[in-house]
Amino acid sequence: MIIGIDASRANRRHKTGTEWYSYYLIKALAEIDSENQYILYTDKPLTGGLLDFTQKEENFELIDEKPKFDKYGYQIIKSLHNNIKGKVLRWPFSYLWTLGRFSLQMLFKAPDVLFVPAHTIPLIHPKRTITTIHDIAFKREGSIYSKKMAWEETGFFRKIINVIVKILSFNKYSLNNLDYLDWSTKFALQTAKKIITVSHFTKKEIIDVYETKPEKLSVVHNGYNNELYRYISNKEEVEAVCKKYGLEEKYFLYVGRLEKKKNTPNLIEALAILKENNPEIKHKLVLIGDASYGYDEVKYYIEEFDLNLEVIMLGWVAEKDLPYIYNGASAFIFPTRHEGFGIPVIQALACGVPTAVSDIEVMKEVAGESALFFNPYDKNAISHAMYSLVTNNELREDLKVKGLQRAKLFSWEKAARETLKLIKEI
């Protein structure tokens, strides 16, 4: 069987949740499956760890060497079972690659099964298409998403597309991010053969909002890189990496986009409350992640509460360094308002970091009893959780032990085996 996979997200330079999901799932499938042939479809030549699946140690660095292609035009990829090749689908625009170029490929030469790790599937696709919907927060809490026009930088041509979209949808949709997310999710739910959700919570939300038949949805929990994310006993190694980023004092850690959805503005205000009520606590707050919708509010609160010296924003950090920064943290705080799964939580638990998370349904599903829970809308509750994590040694040790055990329930190999089983079933 020939299995095609959209690897465009996995091939991006700055990966976050969905991109890492795509990357690691492809890597795990390459390791466990010796029966089927794989084609990785991308908009640019594959690079980094996606060039060589024979190496156990991850290569996250981009490789600038000229890509190699076989006589049929497929990019040459090294794999354990010699069953993977890349197909670069070049496209002159920076937008509509999936709906345009990818669709053309599916029209003329489709694989037996197509797997799309993110929910946007090509307009034209094989009957046996399976895709993953990670969350539908845009439907539940539209206010935490930007309503800007999609592909805003394209100017006049984008305006023409916007008019066409309005006409074809009888003015139901326009070319903004929220409409695009809603339309592409509906399209995937209606036309894909099978839908994967990364949590039971997301499955239930999709059923409630889109009235999808439950039997069309299957839950496959995310995994994490258990060779990278682990408790590191060598404190000198941890200190060396932390020093590289200027982290030489005790700190709270947050990993994720700096945006409204992740509730980082409330986290900043909670830190201000903590510092005001407990001046003896000298911990900094380290924020790791790219800026997104709501970042201006984060910056405003830092200025408003005079926290410039208390908040360290590292931006996007290389994957190989993240486990050391987790291990160096006194506590991990994840105040998200809405989530499909929350991979950083598992990463923190796997590193033995005392963790506090939002008291929302999906976090209970992921963290179980291994984290301290708080009301994400109550800044005082977040502040109190932060205080407890750095002052209550008994709680810290209990969460550390439970977290290390909880993390063992998740792996990319497990996710890949469950995904492959679903692919074979359709």
Segment 402-416, tens digit of pLDDT: 999 999 999 999 999
Rounded CA separation 221/203 (Å): 11
Q: What percent of the chain has pLDDT over 70?
A: 89
- Of residues 423, 419, 382, the one with CA closest to residue 267: 382
- Of residues 120, 90, 85, the one with CA closest to residue 104: 90
Is the pLDDT reported for residue 392 higher than 70? yes
Residue 17 host element (H or E) = helix 17-32
Q: Which CATH class is domain 235-407?
A: alpha beta
Q: What integer pLDDT is reported at residue 142 of this predicted model?
A: 59
DSSP 156: H
φ, ψ dihedrals at 318, nearest 5°: -55, 140
Residues in CB range of 71: below 8 A, 6 or more apart: none
- Of residues 6, 27, 4, the one with CA closest to residue 225: 27
pLDDT single digits (tens) 98-119: 989 999 999 999 999 999 998 8
Q: How many CB atoms lie within 10 A of CB 154?
A: 17
- Of residues 104, 90, 92, 95, the one with CA closest to residue 160: 95
- Of residues 21, 36, 209, 236, the one with CA closest to residue 132: 21
Rounded CA separation 185/173 (Å): 13
pLDDT single digits (tens) 166-208: 554 545 666 667 788 888 999 999 999 999 999 999 999 999 9
Which one has a higher pLDDT value, 203 or 298?
Answer: 203
Domain boundaries, the chain: 2-223+412-425, 235-407
Is the pLDDT reported for residue 419 higher than 90? yes
Measured CA to CA in angstroms, residue 167 lies from 34, 160, 180, 186, 271 at distances of 47, 11, 15, 18, 48
Rounded CA separation 60/118 (Å): 21
Is the pLDDT reported for residue 158 higher than 90? no
Does CATH number 3.30.43.10 belong to domain 2-223+412-425? Answer: no
Q: What integer pLDDT is reported at residue 148 of this predicted model?
A: 57
pLDDT single digits (tens) 262-292: 899 999 999 999 999 999 999 999 999 888 7
Stretch 208-217: mean pLDDT: 95
| Residue 356 near residue 389 (C-beta atoms within 8 A) | yes
Report the amino acid identity of residue 210.
Y
Give the chain's mean pLDDT: 90
pLDDT single digits (tens) 10-62: 999 888 889 999 999 999 999 999 999 999 999 999 998 899 998 766 655 55
Is the pLDDT reported for residue 164 higher than 60? no
